[in-house]
Protein backbone atom coordinates (compact mmCIF):
# COMPACT_ATOMS: atom_id res chain seq x y z
CA UNK A 1 0.00 0.00 0.00
CA UNK A 2 1.37 3.36 -1.04
CA UNK A 3 0.70 5.04 2.25
CA UNK A 4 2.39 2.29 4.18
CA UNK A 5 5.39 2.44 1.91
CA UNK A 6 5.81 6.09 2.55
CA UNK A 7 5.30 5.70 6.24
CA UNK A 8 7.91 2.97 6.38
CA UNK A 9 10.39 5.12 4.53
CA UNK A 10 9.71 7.98 6.87
CA UNK A 11 10.29 5.71 9.84
CA UNK A 12 13.46 4.33 8.32
CA UNK A 13 14.81 7.82 7.72
CA UNK A 14 14.04 8.85 11.26
CA UNK A 15 15.75 5.72 12.55
CA UNK A 16 18.80 6.47 10.45
CA UNK A 17 19.05 9.95 11.87
CA UNK A 18 18.44 8.76 15.40
CA UNK A 19 21.14 6.13 15.12
CA UNK A 20 23.61 8.67 13.81
CA UNK A 21 22.67 11.03 16.62
CA UNK A 22 23.26 8.30 19.19
CA UNK A 23 26.71 7.66 17.78
CA UNK A 24 27.67 11.30 17.74
CA UNK A 25 26.38 11.91 21.25
CA UNK A 26 28.21 8.87 22.54
CA UNK A 27 31.41 9.90 20.80
CA UNK A 28 31.54 13.64 21.25
CA UNK A 29 29.00 14.39 23.93
CA UNK A 30 25.67 16.16 23.91
CA UNK A 31 27.18 19.61 23.56
CA UNK A 32 28.99 18.72 20.35
CA UNK A 33 26.06 16.88 18.80
CA UNK A 34 25.10 19.51 16.24
CA UNK A 35 22.86 18.85 13.28
CA UNK A 36 25.90 19.27 11.06
CA UNK A 37 27.81 16.51 12.82
CA UNK A 38 24.80 14.22 12.85
CA UNK A 39 24.08 14.48 9.14
CA UNK A 40 27.74 13.96 8.43
CA UNK A 41 27.70 10.74 10.44
CA UNK A 42 24.44 9.65 8.83
CA UNK A 43 25.82 10.25 5.37
CA UNK A 44 23.09 12.73 4.51
CA UNK A 45 23.57 15.83 2.45
CA UNK A 46 22.10 18.61 4.51
CA UNK A 47 20.86 19.44 7.97
CA UNK A 48 17.62 20.21 6.24
CA UNK A 49 16.97 16.49 6.38
CA UNK A 50 16.77 16.57 10.16
CA UNK A 51 14.56 19.62 10.30
CA UNK A 52 12.29 17.92 7.85
CA UNK A 53 11.86 14.76 9.88
CA UNK A 54 11.93 16.31 13.34
CA UNK A 55 10.19 19.39 14.58
CA UNK A 56 13.35 20.65 16.20
CA UNK A 57 16.35 19.65 18.19
CA UNK A 58 14.24 18.95 21.24
CA UNK A 59 12.15 16.44 19.39
CA UNK A 60 15.21 14.75 17.97
CA UNK A 61 16.77 14.41 21.39
CA UNK A 62 13.55 13.11 22.82
CA UNK A 63 13.41 10.56 20.01
CA UNK A 64 17.00 9.60 20.75
CA UNK A 65 16.15 9.10 24.38
CA UNK A 66 13.08 7.02 23.58
CA UNK A 67 14.89 4.88 21.06
CA UNK A 68 17.91 4.23 23.23
CA UNK A 69 15.80 3.50 26.28
CA UNK A 70 13.58 1.24 24.23
CA UNK A 71 16.51 -0.90 23.22
CA UNK A 72 17.90 -0.96 26.73
CA UNK A 73 14.62 -1.72 28.44
CA UNK A 74 13.89 -4.52 26.05
CA UNK A 75 17.18 -6.17 26.92
CA UNK A 76 16.51 -5.65 30.62
CA UNK A 77 13.08 -7.24 30.38
CA UNK A 78 14.51 -10.26 28.57
CA UNK A 79 17.14 -10.81 31.19
CA UNK A 80 14.95 -10.31 34.22
CA UNK A 81 11.98 -12.29 32.92
CA UNK A 82 11.16 -15.18 35.20
CA UNK A 83 13.19 -14.03 38.17
CA UNK A 84 10.92 -13.77 41.16
CA UNK A 85 13.36 -13.80 44.02
CA UNK A 86 13.96 -10.16 45.02
CA UNK A 87 17.56 -10.71 45.97
CA UNK A 88 18.26 -12.41 42.67
CA UNK A 89 16.40 -9.68 40.89
CA UNK A 90 18.61 -7.00 42.46
CA UNK A 91 21.69 -8.91 41.40
CA UNK A 92 20.20 -9.45 37.98
CA UNK A 93 19.38 -5.79 37.60
CA UNK A 94 22.92 -4.70 38.40
CA UNK A 95 24.61 -7.34 36.28
CA UNK A 96 22.29 -6.72 33.34
CA UNK A 97 22.78 -2.99 33.45
CA UNK A 98 26.54 -3.32 33.60
CA UNK A 99 26.48 -5.90 30.83
CA UNK A 100 24.58 -3.41 28.69
CA UNK A 101 27.53 -1.06 29.07
CA UNK A 102 29.49 -3.67 27.19
CA UNK A 103 26.92 -4.69 24.59
CA UNK A 104 25.29 -1.30 24.01
CA UNK A 105 27.78 1.32 25.18
CA UNK A 106 26.56 3.97 22.77
CA UNK A 107 22.93 3.65 23.78
CA UNK A 108 23.83 3.79 27.44
CA UNK A 109 26.06 6.78 26.94
CA UNK A 110 23.51 8.61 24.82
CA UNK A 111 20.83 8.14 27.45
CA UNK A 112 23.09 9.58 30.13
CA UNK A 113 24.25 12.49 27.99
CA UNK A 114 20.79 13.52 26.90
CA UNK A 115 19.27 13.13 30.32
CA UNK A 116 22.06 15.11 31.96
CA UNK A 117 22.38 17.93 29.45
CA UNK A 118 19.07 18.51 27.74
CA UNK A 119 17.50 21.64 29.16
CA UNK A 120 14.40 23.65 28.48
CA UNK A 121 14.41 27.32 27.57
CA UNK A 122 14.78 28.32 31.23
CA UNK A 123 17.88 26.26 31.67
CA UNK A 124 16.16 23.60 33.77
CA UNK A 125 16.85 19.90 33.16
CA UNK A 126 14.30 18.53 30.78
CA UNK A 127 14.42 14.76 30.94
CA UNK A 128 16.48 14.03 34.03
CA UNK A 129 13.49 13.88 36.43
CA UNK A 130 11.61 11.61 34.08
CA UNK A 131 14.53 9.28 33.62
CA UNK A 132 15.05 9.18 37.36
CA UNK A 133 11.44 8.21 37.86
CA UNK A 134 11.73 5.39 35.39
CA UNK A 135 14.97 3.97 36.61
CA UNK A 136 14.93 4.68 40.29
CA UNK A 137 11.17 4.15 40.53
CA UNK A 138 11.52 0.64 39.15
CA UNK A 139 14.20 -0.16 41.68
CA UNK A 140 12.22 1.39 44.50
CA UNK A 141 9.29 -0.87 43.82
CA UNK A 142 11.50 -3.93 43.83
CA UNK A 143 13.22 -2.90 47.03
CA UNK A 144 9.93 -2.08 48.77
CA UNK A 145 8.51 -5.45 47.88
CA UNK A 146 11.65 -7.14 49.09
CA UNK A 147 11.48 -5.33 52.40
CA UNK A 148 7.84 -6.39 52.78
CA UNK A 149 8.91 -9.96 52.08
CA UNK A 150 11.63 -9.63 54.69
CA UNK A 151 14.48 -10.54 52.34
CA UNK A 152 15.97 -7.05 52.67
CA UNK A 153 16.89 -5.25 55.83
CA UNK A 154 15.87 -1.80 56.88
CA UNK A 155 17.11 1.10 54.78
CA UNK A 156 15.75 4.14 53.02
CA UNK A 157 14.39 2.84 49.78
CA UNK A 158 14.84 6.06 47.84
CA UNK A 159 18.47 6.44 48.86
CA UNK A 160 19.28 2.82 48.10
CA UNK A 161 17.60 2.93 44.71
CA UNK A 162 19.31 6.16 43.75
CA UNK A 163 22.65 4.80 44.85
CA UNK A 164 22.27 1.58 42.89
CA UNK A 165 21.37 3.55 39.82
CA UNK A 166 24.39 5.78 40.28
CA UNK A 167 26.62 2.78 40.81
CA UNK A 168 25.90 1.68 37.27
CA UNK A 169 26.91 5.11 36.03
CA UNK A 170 30.09 4.54 38.03
CA UNK A 171 30.76 1.40 36.04
CA UNK A 172 30.26 3.41 32.87
CA UNK A 173 32.67 6.06 34.08
CA UNK A 174 35.21 3.43 34.96
CA UNK A 175 34.90 1.87 31.53
CA UNK A 176 35.56 5.20 29.89
CA UNK A 177 38.67 5.80 31.95
CA UNK A 178 39.86 2.23 31.64
CA UNK A 179 38.41 0.56 28.53
CA UNK A 180 39.99 -2.78 29.39
CA UNK A 181 38.22 -3.21 32.69
CA UNK A 182 36.48 -6.57 33.08
CA UNK A 183 32.88 -5.48 33.37
CA UNK A 184 31.68 -8.93 34.48
CA UNK A 185 33.99 -8.71 37.48
CA UNK A 186 32.89 -5.19 38.11
CA UNK A 187 29.24 -6.23 37.99
CA UNK A 188 29.78 -9.12 40.38
CA UNK A 189 31.56 -6.88 42.84
CA UNK A 190 28.77 -4.35 42.61
CA UNK A 191 26.08 -6.98 43.08
CA UNK A 192 27.93 -8.34 46.12
CA UNK A 193 28.27 -4.84 47.49
CA UNK A 194 24.57 -4.12 47.33
CA UNK A 195 23.64 -7.59 48.49
CA UNK A 196 25.58 -6.86 51.67
CA UNK A 197 24.12 -3.39 51.91
CA UNK A 198 20.56 -4.65 51.63
CA UNK A 199 20.91 -7.82 53.73
CA UNK A 200 18.61 -8.14 56.74
CA UNK A 201 20.13 -7.56 60.17
CA UNK A 202 19.24 -11.15 61.10
CA UNK A 203 21.44 -13.00 58.65
CA UNK A 204 19.29 -16.08 58.83
CA UNK A 205 16.78 -14.42 56.60
CA UNK A 206 19.12 -13.67 53.70
CA UNK A 207 22.05 -16.04 53.75
CA UNK A 208 23.58 -14.94 50.41
Partner DNA sequence: TATGAATGAGAGTTCATTCAT
Partner DNA sequence: AATGAATGAACTCTCATTCAT
**Binding residues vs DNA (CB under 7 A):** 2, 4, 6-10, 13, 32-37, 44-53, 55-58
Whose Cβ is closer to DNA: residue 57's or residue 75's?
Answer: 57
Whose Cβ is closer to DNA: residue 27's or residue 58's?
Answer: 58
Which residues contact a second copy (rule: CB under 8 A)? 27-32, 116-117, 119, 123, 125, 128-129, 132, 153, 155-156, 158-160, 162-163, 165-167, 169-171, 173-174, 176-177, 185-186, 189-190, 192-194, 196-197, 199
Instruction: Write down the least CB distance from residue 82 to a second copy, Å.
Output: 28
Measured CA to CA, the distance from residue 187 to residue 152 in angstroms comes to 20
Instruction: Write down the least CB distance from residue 148 to DNA, Å.
Output: 47
Judged by beta carbon distances under 5 to 8 A according to partner kind, the member of a second copy, DNA, none in contact with residue 50 is DNA
Instruction: Write down the least CB distance from residue 26 to DNA, Å.
Output: 16
Amino acid sequence: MQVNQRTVTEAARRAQIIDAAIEVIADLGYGQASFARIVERAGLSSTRMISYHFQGKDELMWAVLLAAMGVVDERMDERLAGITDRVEMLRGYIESQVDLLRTHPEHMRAITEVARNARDENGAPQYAPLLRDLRVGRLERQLAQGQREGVFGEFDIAVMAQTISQAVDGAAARRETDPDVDLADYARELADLFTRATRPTDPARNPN
